[in-house]
Amino acid sequence: MPKHAAVPIVQHQRVREIILEKIATGEFAPGEKIPSERNLCEMLSVSRTTIRRAIDELAAEGVLVRIPAKGTYVAESNLTNTQSTGNIGFIRCYRRNPLTSINDDIFYPRILAGVEAVISKNGYHCLVQSVNENEFTEQTVAQLTQKVDGLICCELRSQRFLDTLRASRLPIVLVSPSLTPSSVDMVEISNREGAVAAVNHLIEHGHRRIAFIGGSPNSRPSKVREAGYIQALKDSGLQVRSEYISSSGWKRTDGCTAMERLLACDPRPTAVFAASDLLALGAYDAIAKAGLRIPEDISIIGFDNIDMAAEARPALSTVHVRKLEMGQVAARLILEQLTGQRDYPLRVVVPTVLVPRDSVGVVSEEAKGQLQKAAPSRR
């Protein structure tokens, strides 16, 4: 496919976002007619085909309504409760494996605790709900949005789900999303910087053959951590080997499978940076099954600093994510929107901290000898 084929997709997504933003701010009010396709073409400097594609999608989602011979109107939304509820919705998005409760999650309970610590002091309560982004219905969203004054949405990947939430015209904050809409508040992890710090820690211990185990291929945090891994290698003049990069999912078993593939490489890596602690612990399983030792035979470093990281044997070196602080920041952002303190979106990147433990060691003498025989090419 030619490179320019992706441009109309980007343009129509931008048009969707602009229309949704105008609905959210009240410029395009429920029940009112929006400008004609011709006028929108002139306003946004895009083709009529692009405008029509954006409107068709929004009409299919119930955000807009086409009336023959009259024009296109903003739907009379039934998603929003006009009265204050005293509640903030906390949505944990998922795609494949539903969570029985938020307590089954190894990452987001601390973020939820940060949210609750702030909003409770301001007279709000948290309503927690897990939502399947692929299978939700407008009724599902309506049942939640009618009960809350604002939404904090975690791990969002679906543009359609975001569009449906925005149609409710409630304040929204996204936490660690895989989408980057310019008109929505976001709280993100300093993924790239944390990844660079993790890989540099391995390099400082003499490692040159460093592999990467990533999460889901369509996960933005995983992609950014991979970019940090590549940056750190290139900054140190080390080779980026495609066979040393493996990304398939976020489960512990995914980490185990990826590590088994890496152990089959010749030469095998002397160290691995995993995009999450759970993936790193899966790598532990594969290394143990292979009869190898950590860190004597291979060093491992993770990302997140979940409770299991410190409890692992050897204790897992990792990158600490300030989950409590992320929740507190998200809560403050939603409160600022609710109280009208600003009329522009904010993106807050929360810094990470390297946590050295026992799973990273100095590269072995045997590996050093292999490195001297085959010095890595520079890129």
pLDDT tens-digit map of 111-134: 999 999 999 999 999 999 999 988
pLDDT digits (tens, 9 = 90+) for 57-98: 888 777 888 776 778 988 865 555 557 899 999 999 988 766
Give the pLDDT score at 374: 47
Calpha distance 93→181 (Å, rounded): 17
- The average pLDDT across 311-339 equals 97
- The average pLDDT across 297-322 equals 97
pLDDT band at 101 (very low <50, low <70, confident <90, very high): low
Calpha distance 209→206 (Å, rounded): 9
Give the pLDDT score at 346: 95
Q: Which residue has the higher pLDDT, 361 or 95?
A: 361
CA–CA distance from 64 to each of 67, 80, 274 (Å)? 10, 16, 44
pLDDT band at 6 (very low <50, low <70, confident <90, very high): very low
pLDDT at 254 over 60: yes
Give the pLDDT score at 135: 87
Contacts (Cβ under 8 Å, ≥6 apart) of 369: none
Calpha distance 154→103 (Å, rounded): 15
Beta strand 347-350 with 185-189 is parallel
Give the pLDDT score at 81: 57
Domain 87-189+326-352 adopts which CATH fold? Rossmann fold (3.40.50)
Calpha distance 339→41 (Å, rounded): 35
The architecture (CATH level 2) of 3-74 comes to Orthogonal Bundle (1.10)
Instruction: State the span(s) of the chain assigned CATH 1.10.10.10.
Output: 3-74
Name the pTM for this structure.
Answer: 0.77
Instruction: State the span(s) of the chain assigned CATH 3.40.50.2300.
Output: 87-189+326-352, 191-320+355-373
* Average per-residue pLDDT for the chain: 88
Give the pLDDT score at 1: 39
* CATH number corresponding to 191-320+355-373: 3.40.50.2300
